[in-house]
Amino acid sequence: MFFILLLIFLICLLLILVPFLLIRLISSTSTENYGNCLLVIAHPDDECMFFSPTLLSLRSDFYVLCLSNGNNHRSDELRRSCLQLRVKDLKIIDDQIYLKDSQSVDWSSDAILGHVKQSIRQWNISTIISFDQYGVSGHRNHSSLYYALVKLSPTDQIRFFALQSYPIYRKYLTLVEFLRVRFSSKPTGITIFILPGKDCFTPYKAMFEHRSQLVWFRYLYLLFSQYLWINNLKRVY
């Protein structure tokens, strides 16, 4: 029994530590011009739990639109996290009628688009980044963002990239995902952002600003999730 537990421990340790070694070999910074970028998220902590590689890889000014605030304490946490992630500016919405923070609620597309359009004008946005239709975790607030953003009239000036959701066996096997990125051909229509080596601890620093959310299962997420290391974005329009 002892040797089985030791083997499990060593495997877990390998899965945790190897990405810190590999990241310096395969990380890169995008040189493509995306213009001013708007990250549209549903909750404080989405920015660092899911989008850190993108925020830290792009040489663009990043703005964050968060469509719920939890409470004032979480708003402060989000601001401190965004400082760690070098976000230029952010806006936090508190709408308990149309944008209520709940896993059982679909948000109003009209309400979402109203705030998105205002942010596009305010910050001269060229690129929008958000969740895909599953929203990584299946959260209905996350999915609502995608279904609203696909209704935004695409123009030559605005592009929309959606973060791709993956099955649980890919979501938490970061080492396997690194090997896939290194040795497999890139899927058509997918842009891959890998956390820069110099920023390998930054997503963790950002997440630790969200003190109110650090329950036990989030520590497991921080240890094993590929989304802190790799983002696969699909261009929707």
Segment 73-88, tens digit of pLDDT: 799 999 999 999 999 9
- Bridge-based pairing of strands 230-235 and 159-163 is antiparallel
Q: What is the mean pLDDT of residues 40-67?
A: 96
Tokens of 36: 């001013």
Q: What is the mean pLDDT of residues 41-52?
A: 97
**Cα(45)–Cα(49) distance, rounded to whole angstroms?**
6
Q: How confident is the model at residue 31 (pLDDT cuts 50, 70, 90)?
A: low
Architecture per CATH, 2-235: 3-Layer(aba) Sandwich (3.40)
Higher local confidence (pLDDT), 31 or 60: 60
Q: How confident is the model at residue 189 (pLDDT cuts 50, 70, 90)?
A: confident
Query: Does residue 17 surpass a pLDDT of 80?
Result: no
Nearest to 121 by CA among 78, 91, 164, 80: 91
Q: What are the boundaries of each domain within the chain?
A: 2-235
pTM given for the model: 0.90
The answer to whether 222 and 83 are in contact (CB under 8 A) is no
Nearest to 144 by CA among 103, 109, 101: 109
**Cα(204)–Cα(105) distance, rounded to whole angstroms?**
29
